[in-house]
Amino acid sequence: MLEFREGGLAYDVLVDPVPDIKELPPCAEDAATFEANARQKALHYSAYADGLVFADDSGISVDALSGAPGVHSARFAGPNATDQANNQKLLGELRRLNSKDRSAHYTCVIALAERGRLLTVVEGRADGLILDHPHGAGGFGYDPLFFYPPLDRTFAELNPEEKFAVSHRGEAFRRLLGYLKARK
């Protein structure tokens, strides 16, 4: 959410959480795809809010791991896994396979809903490589391992504005704004 709030400022768009979201019944993220999870969340939370509500689901897919961790990115090392544990498991899986293929991509799917009705779904993607060791102190999740060749740095080495300009979330958000602009 923080990335969208900060990223929205660059486009003069105010992004706020659904009011009292912590008191609302949680929405399960148990679908098999990023899109299905984003749809579930947008439809669920839009029933509790006036106006437009968007929800995203995102994660990293590693080619050598047949797309894993994918929708399980946040809990790759277990239900309450830390970023460090997830990163260690990812590196362990790649070492176990002894694969030279380190290609990976982040995906972000955003679903937009209003009062329980789905309006659109957009997607963003960022392609990169998984490094053997973390680099950088910024970002979160797999960012210290995700090397982005066009900028010759990991996502964790980018400042928030640089990252949002090239990230999967930034791309999906810009596509959402394009939809909203065309809708007017």
Beta carbons of 53 and 46 less than 8 angstroms apart: yes
Active site residues: 57
Which residues are within 8 A (CB) of 19 and not within 5 positions of it... i.e. 6 or more apart?
49
Element (H, E) at 45: helix 34-46
Q: At what angle do helices 168-183 and 2-9 cross, to 10 degrees?
A: 60
